[in-house]
Amino acid sequence: MRYLIVSCSLRGKSRSRVMAELARNDLEEVGQSVDWLDLCEHSLPFCDGGAAYGDERVGPVAEKVSNADGVILAGPIYNYDFNAASKNLIEMTGSGCWAGKVVGFIAAAGGSSSYMSVLPLANSLMIDFRCVIIPRFVYTDGSAFGENGELENAEVRERIRRLGSDLIGFTEGLATTLQAERGTPS
């Protein structure tokens, strides 16, 4: 199985990026093949429903998503929703890349009240692209972090580990189920 961790924040010292890096490290420590996509390093065009799809910057990003069996999207919560950069990524790469993927979420917010803000993006991926959404996601606010931006909350750290474990389990389980449906050996 191949996994992709996407840091959706466009801010260099973001809390969601810190958590995304921890998730990547966890998967690598258990021997998984993990790719990394940091939207800070890619200047994707805004989706315009037309010409933007042909932009040369989209191809390398789309390839990373397409090659993954499971994806963790890590991003900030702005105005009770995952940031616009994450939605733009999904719009620019589309169903050809996202269809049938297992997707988990890590969210960093300014406060504790918008914990359900991941659901609109999760619903979109599930309904539009038939993604399998891991029902447990990591959500935290700034209180879990120290002065220098490091994650200090042990419970949140354990939830990140569990999300990585769930990503592996769901992805392998889905692959086994699909192989059985097709009648191919696992």
Report pLDDT digits (tens) over 59-96: 999 999 999 999 999 999 998 899 999 999 999 999 89
Per the structure, the complete domain to which residue 171 belongs is given by 2-175
pLDDT of residue 13: 84
In a domain, 18, yes or no: yes
* Beta bridge partner(s), residue 151: 145
The end-to-end CA distance of the chain, in Å, is 13
In a domain, 184, yes or no: no
Report the chain's mean pLDDT, rounded to a whole number: 94
What's the average model confidence in pLDDT over 4-10?
97
pLDDT of residue 114: 82
In a domain, 185, yes or no: no
Give residue 130's pLDDT band: very low, low, confident or very high (50, 70, 90): very high
Return the CATH number at 104.
3.40.50.360
In a domain, 90, yes or no: yes
Q: What percent of the chain has pLDDT over 90?
A: 87
pTM of the model: 0.94
Q: What domain count does the chain have? A: 1
Find out whether 151 and 18 touch, Cβ atoms under 8 Å. yes
pLDDT of residue 12: 82
In a domain, 183, yes or no: no
In a domain, 181, yes or no: no
Give residue 171's pLDDT band: very low, low, confident or very high (50, 70, 90): very high
In a domain, 91, yes or no: yes
* Beta bridge partner(s), residue 78: 81
